[in-house]
Amino acid sequence: MTQASAAAGRTVLVTGAAGGLGRSFALGFAERGYAVAVADVDESGAAETAALIADAGGRAWHGRLDVTSVGSTEEVAAAVAEFGGGRIDVLVNNAALYAGITRAPIEELDPAEWDRVMAVNAKGPWLMTRAASPHLGAGSSVVNIASATVMSGSAQWAHYVSSKGAVIALTRVMAKELGVREITVNAIAPGFTLTEASYGHMADADSYGVDRGALHRASTPEDIVGAALFLAGPDAAFISGQTLVVDGGRQFI
């Protein structure tokens, strides 16, 4: 059985898929034969991602999603389940605040920004999974996007690192709770990856940290997509509650 035929009839919801890593996830799943639901607070960007999938012959749905809103997550989950013929097979919780957030010592971080980062990055995956749960069935998968910064403890980024640490903890709890329904829940912890947001954070993004890795090159979004496809697929059916670090061997856990 080919990978595309194994994915036939399966539907994936990717949050935060208007661009960057989320768009790469959406396109990667579409290439494997999944019907893809593209959701983002940036509805026009989500529409662009869906159009790229449709132009390549895939099946796509798009809509606006605010992962901090109970109403928005429930509305999107119901619409995607309808799009998927009554269920959601894969949920990729990718939506997160990264671009534009402040890097500062803990004494100088704005508490309001801390709350905003936590609301999107930590509360968001919980609310989206909570809303999707009634539409997940045996064989469904949840893939949460954390960050390898949790393992390294990136200085002057306490809110972002803490929020992604919460994602790893949440993954373990959800794996226990949803596992009784034969639903797997895992996390991916990407290292520094070349996206539009990363270039916005630093001028030397192409060379940042490459000398610290076992593989001496920068990570691209496509390097992360394969991990999500694996965790969502049948070869990972007995893997749950785990965090897969994808950073070119910059750190080992």
- The end-to-end CA distance of the chain, in Å, is 34
Asked about 34 being catalytic, the answer comes back as: no
Helix axes 158-179, 124-132, angle to 10 degrees: 20
- Cβ contact 149:208 at 8 Å: no
Backbone φ, ψ for residue 185 (5° rounding): -135, 120
Catalytic-labelled residue, pool 34, 98, 160, 208: 160
CA-to-CA distance for 89 and 132, rounded, in angstroms?
10
- Tell me how far the alpha carbon of residue 228 is from its chain's centroid: 8
Q: Which residues contact 62 (CB under 8 A, 6 or more apart)?
A: 37, 38, 39, 43, 46, 47, 49, 50
Q: Any idea what DSSP says for residue 167?
A: H
**What amino acid positions are annotated as catalytic residues?**
160
